[in-house]
Structure 1
Amino acid sequence: MTVLAGFTPTEAGLLVVDAARAEAQRRRSPLLILNSATGSACADRGLATAADLHRLREHVAEAGIDAEVRQITQAVTASESLIHTAEEISAEIVVIGLRQRTRTGKFLMGSVAQDVLLHAPCDVLALRLPF
């Protein structure tokens, strides 16, 4: 069984990775970190650059844990990518971050967290982020 973390190239994204790393160590499970985006850079700020992914790998390696990092650049939605990957790898738990959004923002953009919480095939650890 694997711990799956959703990653965005932000400070909040690194907090999610740190929580997932701790969860993987506690469970003695492999860690898979997933960055997914729709492919439209102007519409999707969640797409990590090659430099972001390099820093992410270094960040995880500093903790002495082996992690696989995947990126999906042509996702329909980030939530679908997380759910599909969780099914594909038989994830034990999915780790995501929650951020405050307005009702209008939720209506217009949808809620990745809500979709993952409702449709993931396993438990979900949702972190309330301070940003």
Structure 2
Amino acid sequence: MTILVGYLPTPEGEAAVDAGLREGALRRERVIIVNSPRRGAVVDEHKIDDAASAALLERARAAGVDAEVRQPLHDDDLFQTFEDLVEETGAGLIVIGLRHRSLVGKFILGSEAQRILMEARVPVLSVKAAR
């Protein structure tokens, strides 16, 4: 089985990678770190480069976990990107980092994380960044 880890270069993303690698080591499962840039975005501050990708893979290696980094493009439906990856890889767990948002922020912006939490067909482990 495989573990999918949603990753952005943020404290919450780092917490998700840490948790995903711990789960991968405990379960002896492969980890796919997913950094999904928005299709058509000229600039995406959350897209990682080759050096950042290599650093993530080094962290996985140090943890004794077989891992890869994928950067599938997504439109307005990041949830569907994860569902497609679950189908393709046979993943049995999704790990995502959460951050605190106000009620107004959730209403105006929606919540991709909330949709993944509520609608994913596999269990979702949500983590928060250390204070």
The normalised TM-score by structure 1 is: 0.85
Change (3 A) 1:66 1:14: same
2:117 alignment partner in structure 1:
117
Q: Please say which of residues 30-39 and 102-111 is displaced more in the overlay.
A: 102-111
Distance (Å, rounded) in 2 between the aligned partners of 1:106 and 1:50:
32
State how 1:1-131 maps to structure 2 within 5 Å: 1-39=1-39, 40-42=41-43, 44-72=44-72, 74-76=73-75, 77-130=77-130
Contact 2:12 2:128 in 1 (8 A): no
Number of corresponding residues: 129
Contact 1:37 1:78 in 2 (8 A): no
Query: Looking at both structures, which has the greater relative contact order when contacts are Cα pairs under 8 Å and sequence separation is at least 6?
Result: 2
Distance (Å, rounded) in 1 between the aligned partners of 2:42 and 2:22:
31
User: Aligned residues: percent identity?
Assistant: 37
Counterpart code for 2:11? E
* Structure 1 residue 41 displacement after superposition: 4.9
Secondary structure in 1 aligned to 2:33?
strand
The 4+ residue runs of structure 1 with deviation greater than 2 A are: 77-80, 128-131
The normalised TM-score by structure 2 is: 0.85
Distance (Å, rounded) in 2 between the aligned partners of 1:6 and 1:93:
11
Contact 1:83 1:119 in 2 (8 A): no
Gaps spanning 5+ residues in structure 2: where? none
